[in-house]
Chain A
Amino acid sequence: MLQLLDRLNDAAKRKVQALQDYFILAWNALRFIFARPFYGGDLVQQMDAIGVQSLGIVLLTGFFTGMVLALQSAVQLQTFGASMYIGRLVSASMIRELGPVLASIMVAGRAGSGIAAELGSMKVTEQIDALNTLGTDPIKKLVTPRVLAALIMLPVLTIINDFVGIVGGNLIARFYLDVPSTLYWRTVWEQIASNGFTFRVFPNDFIQGLSKPFVFGGVIAVTACYFGLNTSGGTEGVGLSTTRTVVTSSILILILDYFITQILLSVLVAP
């Protein structure tokens, strides 16, 4: 019994320690954004790896999600003779929820796993130690550019994802429900405007839809870097870090999505 308690105690200590290390890594990565030297080249390279190279997969998921959303809703809306509101439904769903969450999960699967595998390989082949011995802080050189790139690129990818999703919905509305495109886009804008504006300029829907990917981007990059830098056990360890990154990031995205929505709904008041 005592042995069991000892083991539980040790396991709890390790978890708390891991959590502490995670937040220390996140804090250092953000702190080094403003500290010299700046690795501008690495930042651009990471923006390409995380953002530009994820574009294809984000376009594809956004477009088909918008279409299927419109298709599923169409059946219900036709029953009530409310087909003209299809634009409202698609835009609200895409901008507030599906756009940020889907884009982030796609990036976690594609770029997050890539970051974990790259840093994990560097760890097991002593390249991280080599950076240290050459007088470079691995967090500043490797983690900060990746976190910053994710913070910048995730909102951009989300905007693109939202847009192609709404376009996908437009195609279904036009060819399946016979809703004219002008009417569709007008209802899209009505939906955006109906939730009010912050400082009379920024639609609340946009603030809600873009603050989420900003947080998710940071979570994906820090999680991937954390598991990558803590890789041990050779190539098997690299595979394990990659899996853990994708699973942990995806779960964190879904959990944080709920809490961010709760907070933003209470802060951003509709007129």
Chain B
Amino acid sequence: MSERETKVRGAAARDAAGDDHQQAVEEAAGGGATTGDERGERARRADDIIRQKQADRARTAIQTELAEEASEARPRPEEPGPLKDGVIEMERVYLAFDRPVLEDVSFAAFPGETLVIVGESGSGKSVALKLILRLLQPDSGRVYICGQDIAGLSFTEALAVRQKMGMVFQSAALFDSMTVFENVAYPLREHTDLKEDEIEARVREKLEFVDLDPNDVMEKLPAELSGGMKKRVGIARGMANNAEIMLYDEPTSGLDPLTTGTITRLIMKLQRELNVTSIVVSHDIRSAFKMATHIALLADRKIRFFGTPEEMTASDDRYIRDFLGGF
């Protein structure tokens, strides 16, 4: 027995001893009046029951600890440094504001795959996206985009890296003083030398890709659009610059089931037709299972699970089973 196992077993036994003693005595007594021999027999039976319960608890504690360690270790690369084919990668990231937000978080997304990060509200999912965008800097650890460590980049250098990525915000975050056309054209006007007619052609192409009629929506202001249309315009704006990476923050939150299905299919279409690498932050398990090639579950500031949707449904971890809620 290892030193660690001995410690866990001893602590578990001590915690359980007080409760178990009373319970075991009650179980062994079985009620009613007793003689001296019967009392001796019951005391022996009570000791046996206590020992059995303590052993069971210690075994469960050790199994849980080892399972957690194995789960944390799985997505972590063997050696420090970027993975060979990883497009987006986090390596042992720690971040705290007033209190810790992420602890020892590691995961990677490979070309053309859709990684969905799920977790309870406030578990640090959106913070992980902000780290990938270098809107935040980790306290320690590395964040690689296409093999480049962005954690140490200056603000101006990070702006260049961000041009590889398209981001779709929870609230769509369309510029409300600009029309739909101006919103989608914004990254093109900012970072390319395209002429106005080329920009218009690109904007029309992207709006059609997200199943919007350009003639109908181009001159509208964001305030005139429905929630689903805003999300679709947000996706069109994110992919306007032909981004290699798409990041989605709760893309289906606040939408009706039909629109949720439309947005989910759109994200899958992007992966299928344009081979875009996507990271989706969501707590919509149904959509997550539809679109994900891998799922990362954030819980208690750590990656509790990393694997395929099939591996997740097959998991025996009680927290995961509760989280999936019978899905």
Contacts and interface: CB of A to CB of B under 8 A. Distances in A.
Interface stretch (A50-58, A95-103, A104-112, A122-130): A122-130
Interface in B153-193: 155-156, 159-160, 162-163, 165-167, 169-171, 173-176, 186-187, 190-191
A145 to B, nearest CB: 13
Contact of B175 (A130, A132, A135): A130
A132 B187 contact: no
B169 A126 contact: yes
Nearest to B191: A135
Contact of B156 (A122, A126, A129, A137): A137
B159 A136 contact: yes
| B: interface residue count bin | 20 to 34
A130 B186 CA distance: 11
A137 B170 contact: no
Given A127-B175, A130-B175, A135 B169 contact: no
B135 interface: yes
Contacts, number: 52
A122 B163 CA distance: 21
Interface in A42-85: none
A136 B190 contact: yes
Interface residues of A, number: 14
- Interface of chain B: mostly helix, strand, loop or mixed: mixed
B171 A125 contact: yes
B12 interface: no
Contacts of B171: 125-126
Interface in B66-89: none
Given A135-B160, A137-B156, A130 B173 contact: yes
A133 B162 contact: yes
B176 A127 contact: yes
B108 interface: no
A135 B173 contact: no
Contact of B190 (A121, A130, A134): A134
Nearest to B161: A135
12 contacts: A37-B190, A126-B170, A130-B169, A132-B162, A133-B133, A133-B162, A133-B247, A135-B159, A135-B190, A136-B159, A136-B190, A137-B159
Given A127-B174, A137-B156, A137-B159, 10 more contacts: A125-B176, A127-B175, A129-B130, A129-B135, A129-B167, A130-B169, A130-B175, A133-B135, A133-B162, A135-B187
Interface of B: 130, 133, 135, 155-156, 159-160, 162-163, 165-167, 169-171, 173-176, 186-187, 190-191, 237, 247
Q: What are the 9 tightest A-B residue pairs by CB atom distance, in nearest-first order?
A: A126-B173, A130-B173, A133-B167, A135-B163, A126-B169, A135-B159, A134-B187, A135-B162, A127-B173
